[in-house]
Every structure is written in C-alpha cells, then in structure tokens.
Amino acid sequence: MPLFSKNLSLNLGGLIMDLSTPHVMGIINATHDSFYDGSRVPGPEEAVEKAREMIEQGADILDVGAVSSKPGSEEISETDELRRLSPILEALRENFPEIPISVDTWRSGVVLSVKERFGVHMINDISAGTLDPKMFSTIAKLGIPYVIMHMQGTPLTMQNEPAYENVVDDLLQFFAERVYKLRKLGVNDIIIDPGFGFGKTLEQNYKLLSKFDSFRILELPLMAGISRKSMIYKLLESEPDQALNGTTAAHMAVLLKGASLLRVHDVAAARETVKIFQQIY
C-alpha cells in the first residue's frame, strides 16, 4: 500500500494524516447524559484537562460532541448545541492549537459556525447527511473531511426493533449511495463508520464486526466507534465502566479487519492495542 494512498489520507487543515496506519480519536462529550460518564465534561476546564490527558496518551485527534446519541435520547436545539460546544472548542483551540479537532454533529448550521469560529478540522455525522438536507453541500463548500455513519432511524427510535434484509449488504448499499452523492459534490475526504449500536441488535452488531473487512471494498478509511458500547457490556453482562477489556478485544478485531481510525474513551489502552497490532500485522 502506498504511504499516502489518495483514499487513505485526510487533509486536516493542511496537516496530512496518513490513515494507512491506524490512528486514535479521543471522545470528549459536552453533555450530561452520554452513556459513559467517563467521557462527559461539564465545562471548558474539565475539557482541557481531559484533552491534555488524551494527548499525552497519544490521541491523534479529538472528537467533541454536545448532543447525546445514546438510544432513546431526544435532540436539543441548535442554539443549545452551540452553547455547549463553543466554550469548550474555544478552550481547546487556545490550549492545544496543534491537535486536530473533529465535531460530532448532524447539523449544517453547527458545522458552519464551528468551522468559521474555531477552525475545526473534521465533521463526524451520525446521520451521514440524512437528518439535514444541507449537510452535504455544506461539507462540499467547506472542503472539510467528513465521517459518514450509518444509523437506522434517529437516536430516539433507532433501537425500536431494527431490521435489515442483510445488515452488511444493506449498509454497503447505503454507503455506496451516500459516497456517490458526496463525490458528485466534490467531497474527497470521506471516512466510513458502520455505526455500531445505532439501530442494530446485538446479533447485527457482531455480524458487522465479523464482516468489518467487507467495507474495505469502498476504498475509503474505516472508523470504528465501538468503545464501551452495549454490544460489549451486555454480552459480558457488565456495565460501561467495566467494559474496557471487552473494548480492547473488539478494537483488535476491527484493526485486523482494516480499521484506520478508532474512536475511543480510553486512549492509552487503544494506543497499546494499535502498537501490538502493528507489531504482528
């Protein structure tokens, strides 16, 4: 594989991130109700402390979100989303000007604001543009890397008996259609996230995990957001705060099947997993 494959590198505001080797994204949630309380930061001081710890542990990028997407959660207004995000993004840019920052949002208005005000480097959209018809054109206008994730329904409804003809084939068709539309608009830097836990049963999640390498046919970087999710702790009959060991096992599985980016709560453990993966693969 070329060192800088066109399809496996991202232009993050002039910084070229080579995803032919795995990278780690640290999760920072400006929410009070995210499913794992270890990722929550109530304000900018706590966000800076969390970010500093993650960067010291080897995070390559930080992903900041202000809207909980746990099953059953209801959305907040765009005004409230920006009210939560703004002080945290301002503090992170001031304290860590060199670290790439992604924002987890499905709203094009939020994207425009955080890009203009804080110069964020990437957008992580749990809806792949399905919840905001202006999102794709906004991403194209800004020329910013874009994560498209699959979700069946919305966070409020997604676990209401999710159903597929074939979960892997259905997602491949979904992503092929979304990528085609983005390419027509001139979007180059696209990352694929199958959306573990977003409108999938336990069995469907593990089907996606076992067939994760099927998404390599899209010839785009693959991101796995599997950290401490219910597919891990429910299988192991535990809770999110006891799911680190299971998360590490799942991370190694997706790395062996082609993941380029791990979105994680526990950066140090993920970085160790990547190091061992690189030694054996």
pLDDT in tens, 12-45: 989 999 998 999 999 998 876 555 565 567 789 9
- Tokens standing for 145? 């890397």
Residue of 84, 107, 229, 271 marked active site: 229
Q: Are 23 and 224 in contact (CB under 8 A)?
A: no
Pairing of strands 223-224, 61-65: unpaired
- Type and span of the H or E element at 18: strand 15-18
Cβ(214)–Cβ(172) below 8 Å: yes
The span from the first CA to the last CA of the chain, in angstroms, equals 13
Residue 4: what pLDDT?
A: 35
Phi, psi torsion values for 79, nearest 5 degrees: -60, -45
Please state whether beta strands 9-12 and 15-18 pair in parallel, antiparallel, or not at all (unpaired). antiparallel
**Measuring CA to CA, which residue among 206, 209, 202, 204 is closest to residue 234?**
202
* Distance of alpha carbon 184 from alpha carbon 46, whole angstroms: 41
| Per annotation, catalytic residue among 84, 107, 228, 263 | 263
Q: Is 263 a catalytic residue?
A: yes
Residue for token digits 């500093």? 52
Rounded-to-integer distance, Cα 232 and Cα 244, Å: 9
Mean pLDDT of the chain: 91
Q: Give pTM, 2 decimals.
A: 0.92
CA 107 from centre of chain:
15
CA distance 144 to 105: 14
The predicted pLDDT at position 64 comes to 96
Q: What is the band of 5 on the pLDDT scale with cuts at 50, 70, 90? A: very low
pLDDT 10s digits, 142-201: 999 999 999 987 666 656 667 899 999 999 999 999 999 999 999 999 999 999 999 999
Cβ 99 vs Cβ 62: under 8 Å: yes
Handedness of CA 106, 150, 184, 1 (dihedral sign): positive
From the list 88, 86, 21, 87, the residue with the least C-alpha distance to 58 is 21
Place of tokens 């795995």: 22
Q: Is-contact 192 148, C-beta < 8 A?
A: yes
Fold of 19-280: TIM Barrel (3.20.20)
* CA nearest neighbour of 220 among 185, 260, 268: 260
DSSP code at position 40: B
> Domain residues of the chain, as ranges?
19-280
Pick from 90, 97, 126: nearest CA to 15: 97
pLDDT tens, 272-281?
Answer: 999 999 999 8
pLDDT value for 76: 85
3-state SS assignment for residue 130 = coil
CB within 8 A of 84, min separation 6: which ones? 30, 31, 66
